[in-house]
């Protein structure tokens, strides 16, 4: 009899503890310094932008994603979810229709400014993430882990990626080759490059290179500026035929990197989407840099 009473007391205490844990809201501060309260670990998440979807999926929570935007391409298991926005903006009605318990946004394409106020008014918690460096992406993993009630998982995933980055940096060449990464071409003849002070630029440094256009403060530059910088390595975030078309333009053959066969493709998904896959891109670029002739 005493044993049954003791078991009953233990079960009652456990039930009380579970209810207390469930009742305790998640409180955190997002990248903008906003205090956010989430009533309980969310089962229904709408991550705006491909990068935020990848962060959620990296934590093993792809099954909680109930809406995506039109530019999301990864992971494949979320691509059948309803789209809540795209090139023309974001639909508050479409988002609300998914009954989200958490919305994750960034400032890009005005998402933050368009969605925080109406969602807050409707009682839907919103966290804002920034991705200005690789370290900030790691911090985002931890923040999303906390916001989803999985802080241990967020720490573990971020720590595993950081360990890989440390291994890459430890093997970086003593004399770093200079690089320019072109991320797009404009109709006026200018090209888009990864700035040194951007997330992509930081990833290039992590791989073991240095920026040939270190002082560039805008992403749009002239081909003449790239040619004058004459980087040891030219990187192109895109497809093989696009790179071929670029270097076939007048003047590009003057680049040492083109003449010596050091114009290389990198995956857009690994360098232009600030998520866990960037570590894959950094590792691949690090191998390429170690194989390149010393500057």
Residue 262 has pLDDT above 70, yes or no: yes
Q: What is the mean pLDDT of residues 71-97?
A: 92
* pTM recorded for the entire structure: 0.88
Which structure tokens are listed for 279? 């570590």
Taking the CB of residue 60, how many other CB atoms lie within 10 A of it?
Answer: 12
Mapping DSSP onto H, E and C, the string for 21-54 reads: HHHCCEEEECCCCCEEEECCCCCCEEECCHHHHH
Q: What is the mean pLDDT of residues 202-215?
A: 94
Q: Which tens digit of pLDDT belongs to each residue from 11-64?
A: 454 544 444 445 589 999 999 999 999 999 999 999 999 999 999 999 999 999
State whether the Cα torsion 166-170-174-180 is positive or negative: negative
- Write down all domains in the chain, each with its CATH number in brackets: 26-165 (3.40.50.1980), 174-291 (3.40.50.1980)
Least confident of 41-45, 198-202, 287-291: 287-291
Q: Which tens digit of pLDDT belongs to each residue from 277-288?
A: 999 999 999 999
Pairwise CA distance, residues 89 & 85, whole Å: 6
pLDDT at residue 86, rounded to an integer: 81
Q: Is 143:28 a contact under the CB 8 Å cutoff?
A: yes
């Amino acid at each position: 009899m005493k044993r049954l009473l003791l078991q009953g007391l233990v079960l009652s205490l456990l039930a009380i503890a579970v209810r207390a844990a469930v009742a305790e809201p998640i409180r955190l501060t997002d990248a903008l310094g906003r205090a956010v309260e989430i009533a309980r670990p969310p089962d229904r998440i709408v991550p705006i932008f491909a990068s935020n979807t990848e962060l959620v999926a990296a934590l093993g929570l792809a099954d909680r994603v109930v809406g995506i935007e039109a530019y999301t391409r990864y992971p494949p298991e979320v691509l059948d979810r309803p789209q809540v926005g795209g090139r023309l903006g974001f639909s508050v009605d479409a988002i609300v229709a998914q009954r989200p318990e958490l919305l994750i946004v960034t400032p890009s394409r005005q998402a933050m400014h368009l969605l925080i106020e109406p969602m807050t008014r409707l009682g839907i918690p919103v966290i804002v993430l920034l991705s200005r460096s690789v370290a900030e992406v790691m911090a985002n993993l931890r923040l999303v882990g906390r916001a989803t009630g999985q802080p241990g998982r967020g720490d573990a995933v971020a720590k595993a990626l950081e360990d890989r980055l440390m291994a890459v940096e430890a093997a970086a060449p003593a004399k770093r080759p200079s690089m320019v990464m072109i991320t797009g071409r404009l109709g006026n003849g200018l090209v888009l490059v990864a700035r040194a002070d951007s997330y992509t630029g930081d990833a290039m440094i992590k791989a073991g290179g240095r920026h040939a256009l270190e002082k560039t403060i805008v992403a749009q530059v002239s081909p003449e500026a790239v040619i004058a910088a004459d980087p040891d390595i030219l990187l192109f975030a895109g497809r093989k035929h696009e790179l071929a078309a670029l270097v076939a333009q007048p003047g590009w053959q003057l680049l040492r990197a083109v003449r010596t066969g050091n114009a290389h493709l990198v995956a857009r998904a690994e360098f232009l989407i600030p998520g866990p896959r960037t570590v894959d891109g950094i590792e691949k670029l690090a191998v390429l840099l170690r194989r390149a002739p010393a500057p």
